[in-house]
Homo-oligomer: A and B are copies of this chain.
Amino acid sequence: MSREVRGNGDRRKPTVTDVAREAGVSVATAGRALGNYGKVRPELRERVLATAERLGYSPNVVARSMRSGGTRSIGFVGVDISNPFFAIAMRGVCDVAREEGYEPILANSDDRIDIERTAVRVLLEKQVEGIVVSPTSVSDVEHLERAQSVGVPIVLLDRASAGLHADSVVIDNVGAARVAVDHLLDLGHRRIGLLASIDPAERPRFVLDGRTKRLTVRGVARPSIERIRGYLAALADREVDAAERYLRCPPLGETGPAEAEEEARQLLDQSQRPTAVFAADNVTTHGLFLACRRLGLRVPDDVSIVGFDDLDWTVLVDPPLTVVAQSPLDMGRAAAQRLFARIKGDESAPERVVLPTSLITRGSTARRGRASRGA
């Protein structure tokens, strides 16, 4: 079949071949002029560029990447882009990617390992050059290893994994929780409640240490569990006994503000009510605040509260919230930076980037008012 001249009304995108034919040069020359590589006589380049412009030529980077490997795409697998933490982290990833001339492909895992696996598979099939992922599981990481084994670097965001030999960008969750609880202890509080959303699949077990007679937490190194660990450690350091009835861990995933509020209500609605509560993530912080209001508890007079994540609204409420702040933007940026270092060939040992957190003291915490039971 003879090659027809492509009509103008054609929806097909013009290719280098089209431009070459139209400009009266070879595909090679057209390619060189358009791709800006090799040598080409200025006047020819002009002619080629002009015809390209006229035809509305736009390079097909899919074809290009087939030849030369790189797709200049990376993957981002977050739990839920509508959650401010991930939205802001994604922004950080986007910014760095753009500086590097890359674009991110987005996938939400909803914290489900099966969805995450599929997402990673699809991203690999799409030939992304690297993936930033907030892994659903810190133990089930085969799919991530598979990516690495085909040369696609992985950077973990927010959640590290001991099992995976990969870079990670995290905060010091134990330390952050410690600082929050220390703050409450410094203010004289002894009955300190804790709220933390926990993945049911990795629900921690609280065990009484035989030797020290102190409550400890068993479980993998998920942020929320680390924060519980920090909470317990802070109490232990001051020889304050932790009580299981002051710990409430609603299941992550099914926990929205409403569920968190109910958990907070149960925590606050007991005889020896805690005089202070630490909410270890932004969903429980939201729920805790609602519960206090619903129960008619005055903050900080009746109960002091420390939240997690310095979202917009923490300064809008009354009183403004004392919170542990992290920077999702910096975390996203750092993760992307590690990723591009790997993409560029960095073969050094996996790095664990620990970003700082800060306790922002505002009106929701105060010295314990009346002297009640010390522990």
The reply on A318 being an interface residue by CB < 8 A is yes
Q: 1/0 per residue A78-118: CB within 8 Å of B?
A: 00111010011011001100100001111110000000000
> Separation in Å of the A105 CB from the closest CB of chain B?
5
B66 touches A63 (CB 8 A): yes
- Chain B residues closer than 8 Å to A251, beta-carbon distance: none
Instruction: Check A106–B90 contact: CB distance below 8 A.
Output: yes
Contacting residue for A66 out of B13, B66, B88, CB 8 A: B66
Question: Would A151 and B60 count as touching, CB distance under 8 A?
Answer: no
> Which of A35-43, A122-130, A267-275, A333-341 binds B?
A122-130
Q: How far is the CA of A181 from the CA of B311 in the complex (A)?
A: 29
What's the Cα separation between A90 and B108 when bound, in Å?
Answer: 10
Q: Which residues does chain B contribute within 8 Å of A146, judged by CB atoms?
A: 56
Chain B residues with CB under 8 A of A71: 62
Closest to A63 in B: B66
Chain B: which residue is nearest A80 at the CB level?
Answer: B91
B13 lies within 8 A of A73 (CB): no
Interface size class of A (residues with CB under 8 A): 35 or more
Q: Do A105 and B107 touch across chains, with their CB atoms under 8 A apart?
A: no
Q: CB distance A61 to B103 under 8 Å? A: no
Question: A residues touching B (Cβ–Cβ < 8 Å)?
Answer: 11-13, 56, 58-63, 65-66, 71, 73, 80-82, 84, 87-88, 90-91, 94-95, 98, 103-108, 121-127, 146, 149-151, 257, 286, 289-290, 311-313, 315-318, 329
Taking each of A108, A122, A146, A316, which has the highest tally of chain B beta carbons within 10 Å of its own beta carbon? A316
CB < 8 Å neighbour of A12 from B82, B124, B151, B313:
B151
- Contact A91 to B84, CB < 8 A, known contacts A59-B125, A66-B62, A312-B286: no
Q: Are B11 and A151 neighbours in the complex by a CB distance under 8 Å?
A: yes
Identity of the chain B residue whose Cβ is nearest the Cβ of A108 in the assembled complex: B94
User: What is the minimal beta-carbon distance from A334 to any residue of chain B, in angstroms?
Assistant: 16
**Choice from B81, B123, B286 contacting A90 with Cβ under 8 Å:** B81
A58 — which chain B residues lie within 8 A by C-beta? 121, 124-125, 150
Contacts of A286 in B (CB 8 A): 312, 316
On whether the beta carbons of A105 and B103 are closer than 8 Å, the reply is yes
Of the residues B60, B82, B103, B317, contact of A91 by C-beta under 8 Å: B82
Inter-chain CA distance A195–B315, complex, in Å, is 21
Knowing A58-B124, A105-B104, the reply to whether A82 touches B150 (Cβ < 8 A) is: no
Task: Identify 25 residue pairs between A and B in the complex whose beta-carbon atoms are under 8 Å apart, listed by A's number.
Answer: A11-B151, A60-B125, A60-B127, A61-B125, A62-B71, A73-B105, A81-B81, A81-B87, A81-B91, A82-B90, A90-B106, A94-B108, A95-B108, A98-B107, A103-B106, A103-B107, A103-B122, A103-B123, A104-B106, A106-B106, A290-B315, A290-B316, A313-B313, A317-B317, A317-B318
